[in-house]
């Protein structure tokens, strides 16, 4: 909130169920001893007008006597969709929508929310790491890592920012990954394995660390019932479905709005065929591996470790969608992360 060019209160939606940004900003204003009446409030998303886990923000804005609200982006959810701005205008508040770069930045900031609100599906981001000669795995006995330490730290931050992480069973069998966000105080996402035949071993590190983060195994109709039952008995959640879209719909119903895809090429190709990739983050390391194995051709990077077996297709439920293999990015950025190069390419906007 701003008055006479000075910030008198700030706030953000810190976590699910906590104060929304508008009410948090009003609380901050009170802590500073500032009165909000007559001030201008700048918001990245239009204020809500319905009761959910928190009461409507438009009520708090009207009660506070805010005279002007500048909104950076609309709320596409069915319960909102313009109701808040209308109520504010009826209450005598001047309402203005931002345009240009500010509006674009605000929409990009809330892409996971926007896709989930419009489709019920989570936003999918693909992460890959490769050498200069295009290899995604190292040779047996070599260092398990392709990317550098700073890139790996960045990946753990991305994990903590996601609601769920997904790999295929080939990556799970070859790397035995943890898929946890290993950073101080990091939020642990749901760990998802696309495993059509329920082959995830009970002695895997994923099953052995259920006390750290939950695991969901997505199987197909051909999954062996005793195997699925053993996983459930161990505390693993299972989902029987066919198709990437059906699996994403189930994740969306569970409240997952963002999915971080760390599986191999087979799983990535299935999501691409389903036209569900929002963004790709590819780390290119300044090394030549010279490895051309069945594992590297069929697999990909899970935890970045060496392959002990090829990743047998299909890694998970097949896509029921068909589409062109090529996807041209809407935008891309190139930056250095330590000794590596990170290419971030965005393919959609919601």
Non-local (6+) Cβ contacts of 257 within 8 A are: 112, 113, 115, 116, 122, 123, 163
| Distances in whole angstroms, Cα of residue 291 to Cα of each of 149, 172, 175, 286, 295 | 22, 21, 17, 15, 10
Non-local (6+) Cβ contacts of 59 within 8 A are: none
**Nearest-angstrom CA–CA distance, 133 and 291:** 9
- Choose among 138, 155, 152, 172: nearest CA to 291: 138
Non-local (6+) Cβ contacts of 177 within 8 A are: 167, 171, 205, 206, 262, 302, 303, 305
Residues with active-site annotation: 22
**Nearest-angstrom CA–CA distance, 3 and 231:** 58
- The answer to whether 289 touches 133, Cβ cutoff 8 Å, is yes
Non-local (6+) Cβ contacts of 238 within 8 A are: 198, 216, 217, 218, 219, 228, 231, 232
């Amino acid at each position: 909130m701003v008055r006479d060019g000075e910030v008198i209160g700030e706030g953000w939606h810190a976590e699910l169920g906590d104060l929304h940004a508008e009410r948090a900003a009003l609380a901050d204003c009170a802590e500073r001893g500032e009165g909000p009446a007559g001030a201008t409030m700048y918001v990245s998303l239009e204020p809500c007008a319905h009761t959910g886990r928190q009461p409507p923000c438009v009520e708090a804005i009207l009660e506070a006597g805010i005279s002007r609200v500048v909104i950076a982006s609309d709320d596409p959810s069915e319960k909102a969709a313009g109701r808040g701005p209308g109520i504010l205008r009826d209450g005598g508040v001047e309402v203005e929508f931002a345009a240009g770069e500010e509006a674009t930045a605000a929409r990009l900031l809330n892409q996971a929310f926007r896709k989930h609100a419009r489709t019920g599906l989570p936003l999918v981001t693909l992460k890959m790491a490769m050498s200069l000669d295009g290899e995604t795995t190292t040779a047996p006995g070599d260092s398990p890592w392709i990317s550098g330490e700073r890139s790996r730290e960045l990946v753990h931050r991305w994990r903590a920012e996601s609601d769920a992480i997904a790999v295929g069973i080939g990556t799970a069998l070859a790397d035995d990954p943890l898929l946890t966000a290993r950073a101080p105080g990091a939020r642990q996402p749901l760990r998802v394995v696309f495993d059509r035949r329920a082959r995830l071993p009970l002695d895997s590190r994923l099953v052995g660390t259920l006390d750290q983060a939950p695991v969901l195994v997505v199987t197909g109709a051909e999954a062996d019932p005793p195997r699925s039952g053993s996983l459930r008995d161990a505390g693993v959640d299972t989902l029987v479905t066919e198709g990437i879209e059906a699996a994403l719909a189930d994740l969306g119903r569970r409240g997952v709005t963002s999915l971080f895809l760390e599986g191999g090429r087979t799983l990535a190709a299935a999501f691409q065929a389903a036209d569900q990739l929002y963004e790709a983050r590819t780390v290119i390391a300044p090394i030549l591996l010279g490895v051309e194995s069945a594992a590297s051709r069929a697999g990909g990077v899970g935890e970045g470790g060496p392959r002990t077996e090829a990743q047998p297709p299909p890694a998970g439920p097949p896509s029921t969608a068909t589409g062109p293999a090529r996807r041209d990015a809407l935008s891309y950025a190139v930056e250095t992360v330590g000794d590596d190069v990170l290419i971030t390419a965005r393919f959609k906007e919601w």
